[in-house]
Amino acid sequence: MSRRATGHRAAALAALSVLALTATACGSSGGDPLAAAPSTAGGSAGTAAASGGTVVIGSANFPENVLLGSIYSQALKAKGVKVEEKFNIGSREVLYGQLQSGSLTLLPEYNGALLAYLGGKTAEPTKEAVNAELAKTLPASLAILDSSPAEDKDTLSVSQETADKYGLKSIADLAAKAGELTIGGPPEFKSRQEQPLKDVYGLTFKEWKPTGETTANAVKDGSVQVGNVFSTDPKIAQLKLVPLTDPKNLFGAQNVTPLVNKAKVDATSASALNAVSAKLDTAGLLALMKKVAIDKEDPSAVAKDWLKSNGLG
């Protein structure tokens, strides 16, 4: 599991620019909404014409992001847009630079995680506040479209046995016990979150383990006592894990949000992607992830069924 920190052209892109600026718009789950240091990746905006080109959709290397990429891809194809899929590429550290350079056109992102990645902060952890800050923080070549109501939030989750043993209900409750506990998550989890967890909650763990997509199982079997399990991971319910509350809003809003290279996405594509966001909610995403992660259905087929049932396929 792994997922997270999400100048306008006037002519052919005027419609998209308006959408980006007014959008209500992560990193683990399978998602990776974790925050990291600001990217040092460079790259200039793509120069291809906005209309008539191929939209190249990338995704991070975790199941939910691949599923979202497939939903975006098929929604665009239904509108006659030429699409190329490049899924399972890697973490945000790799993807963001490729979007800036124009080798990718579109990514499924998580707004709060993207903002944290870019080094931005908000006084309030709401979708609206995060997106307003993103509009100011993103480089001129990139834009967010409408955020969906669907959120895949980072959690620190424990087994019921660990919760009972240490009296854990919130992340703050870990402060007195973290030195005895091992924490697991995606491979980049330690570099992204070790310092924020110290700064916000005063947590210093005994050990950090890269557990990737096996994090939920590692929590359940005791390989780690605390895991970065994402809120739309159906294994939380299946394994009866306990997500600890986040009273200081370390993770904030993490709405699923399309991030685009503006030079290569026209108004037709933006409209199709915004229509997806309007239909996608957290309960629906969790149901889709059960099909992918638990029932082992093909993400492309799951995406196709969802689009058809919502009148978008």
140: tokens are 């001129």
Residue for token pair 């239909």: 279
**How confident is the model over 107-112, as a mean pLDDT?**
97
Same fold, 2-152+252-309 and 154-243: yes
Which tops the pLDDT comparison, 252 or 81?
A: 81
- The model's confidence at residue 276, banded by pLDDT at 50, 70 and 90, is very high
Superfamily of domain 154-243: Osmoprotection protein (prox); domain 2 (3.40.190.120)
**pLDDT per residue over 293-308, tens digit each?**
999 999 999 999 999 9
Mean pLDDT of 108-114: 96
Q: What is the mean pLDDT of residues 221-234?
A: 96
Range with the poorest average pLDDT among 17-21, 86-90, 117-121, 209-213: 17-21
- Residue 205: per-residue pLDDT: 97
pLDDT bucket at 52, cuts 50 / 70 / 90: low
Each domain of the chain, given as residue ranges in start order, spans 2-152+252-309, 154-243
Convert the pLDDT of each residue in 89-103 to its tens digit: 999 999 999 999 999
Domain 2-152+252-309 grouped into CATH 3.40.190.10? yes
Q: Which residues pair with 255 in a beta bridge?
A: 151
What's the pTM?
Answer: 0.78
Average pLDDT over residues 285-289: 96
